[in-house]
Amino acid sequence: MANQKKLDLVIIGLDFFIFNSLIGTRQSFSEQRLEKKYIILEDLLNITFSLDALVASQETVIDSNKNLPNNIFDGENGFIPYLNVDPKKTKSRFEKIMNNYYEGYYTTYQLSNQLLDEFKKVVDLCKKNQIKLISYISPAHATQWEIIKSSGQWSTFEEWKRKIVEISDVFDFYGYNSITTEPIHNDMENYRENSHYTPKVGNLILNRLLSYKEEEVPQDFGILINSENIESHLTKIRQDREIWAKNHPGEVKLVKEIKQKFDASLN
C-alpha cells in the first residue's frame, strides 16, 4: 500500500507447501525492498556487477541471435508462455516435479502457526483499509494430492484448510474436478506438470474470482469454502479421491512408484 495509495483489490493465491515451517525464507529475499519506490543499493550492485548478471547477459545475447518468434515473451493477459515445452516429455516432467515434492516439501512438513498469523495480518490489514481481499487455493493436478496422501500429510492438509477458513473465506480450486483430473498425456490442456497449470486454467481461476464470464467456468471448479461448509467440503474431497483412484489406477501407481524410489534412495 505504500506505493499504491488507491489500492482497492487484493487477490492472494495460497498453497499448502508454503505454510511449512521447515522451509526457510529464501536467502535472496530482503525486507529492505518493501515500501520502496527505488532499487536498493545492494540490489543495484548485485544486478550491475554480479557474476549472475554477467552470465544472464551473455545468455541474452546468444538467445537474441536465434530465430525466435517476436512475441515469445508477450503472453496474453500478462502470461509468459512456456518456452520449448516438449509434449512428448510430459510424463517425465510430472515425474521430476513429483520427486521434487517428496525431496523438499511433504516428507517433512510442520504446519506453521506463524505463517497462518502472517496471513491473518494481511486479512486484517485489508479490512482496516477497506480493501477487498479475494483468497484462493491454487489448483494443482490430482496427482499432487496423491503425493500428499502417500507422504502421510493428508490430515495436516485438511487441518491447514480448517485453519485458513477460520481466518477468511477462500475459493478452493483443489479437489477432484473436471480441470484437475485431466489424465496425464502428451497434449494436456490444463497442466505443464503436476504443480503448474496453463494460462487457460489461470483465466478460468480469474473468471471465477471476479465473477466474469462464469458460464465458461466448470461448475465444479472453484468452491467458496468457509467455517460453515468446510467439513462437508473435506468429506466430499475424500469421497472424490476414492472415485478418482479407482478410475485412474495408472496415475496412482505412478505416484506410488516414485515414492518407492524416493524411499529407496534414503537407505
For the stretch 176-223, pLDDT in tens is: 999 999 999 998 999 988 888 999 999 999 999 999 999 999 999 999
Flag whether 77 is in a domain: no
Alpha-carbon distance of 176 to 141, in angstroms, equals 9
Q: Could you tell me if residue 36 is inside a domain?
A: no
Q: Which of 110, 189, 106, 198 is nearest to 144 (CA)?
A: 106
Find residue 170's DSSP bridge partners. Answer: 225
Q: For residue 136, count CB atoms less than 10 angstroms from its CB and return exposed for 0-12, middle for 13-18, buried for 19 or more.
A: buried
- pLDDT band for position 78 (50/70/90)? very low
Of all residues in the chain, the percent with pLDDT exceeding 70 is 81
DSSP 193: E
- Cα dihedral sign, 219-221-222-223: positive
Q: According to the model, what pLDDT value does residue 72 have?
A: 39
2-16, 79-93, 205-219, 244-258: range with lowest mean pLDDT? 79-93
Cβ partners under 8 Å of residue 81, min gap 6:
72, 73, 75, 199
DSSP H or E stretch at residue 170: strand 170-172
Ranges 4-8, 240-244, 246-250: which has the least confidence: 4-8
Whether 40 maps to a domain, the answer reads no
pLDDT at 80: 47
Burial of 52 (0-12, 13-18, 19+ CB in 10 A): exposed
- Coil vs helix vs strand at 171: strand
pLDDT exceeds cutoff 60 at 107: yes
How far apart are alpha carbons 52 and 48 in whole angstroms?
10
d(CA 58, CA 63): 9
Tell me the average pLDDT across 8-35.
Answer: 82
Q: CA 188 to CA 182: how far, in whole Å?
A: 8
Question: How much is the pLDDT for 71?
Answer: 43
Per-residue confidence (pLDDT) for residue 223, from 0 to 100: 95
Whether 42 is covered by a domain: the verdict is no
For the segment 24-47, what is each residue's pLDDT rounded down to a tens digit?
A: 776 666 777 777 777 777 777 666
Calpha distance 13→158 (Å, rounded): 17
Domain count, the chain: 1
| Range with lowest mean pLDDT among 1-15, 121-135, 141-155, 231-245 | 1-15
Please tell me the distance from the alpha carbon of residue 131 to that of residue 44, in angstroms, as a whole number: 32
Which of the pair, 204 or 83, is modelled with greater confidence?
Answer: 204
pLDDT tops 70 at residue 113:
yes
For residues 108 and 160, the model is more confident at 160
Residue-level pLDDT at 252? 96
Within a domain: 63:
no
Tell me the three state secondary structure of residue 81: coil
Q: Does residue 39 lie in a domain region?
A: no
Dihedral in degrees, nearest 10, Cα atoms 48, 50, 53, 58: 110
* pLDDT (tens digit per residue) in 135-159: 999 999 999 999 999 999 999 999 9
Inside any domain, residue 32: no
pLDDT of the residue at 70: 45
CB–CB of 137/145 below 8 Å? no
Domain residue limits at 213: 9-15+85-265
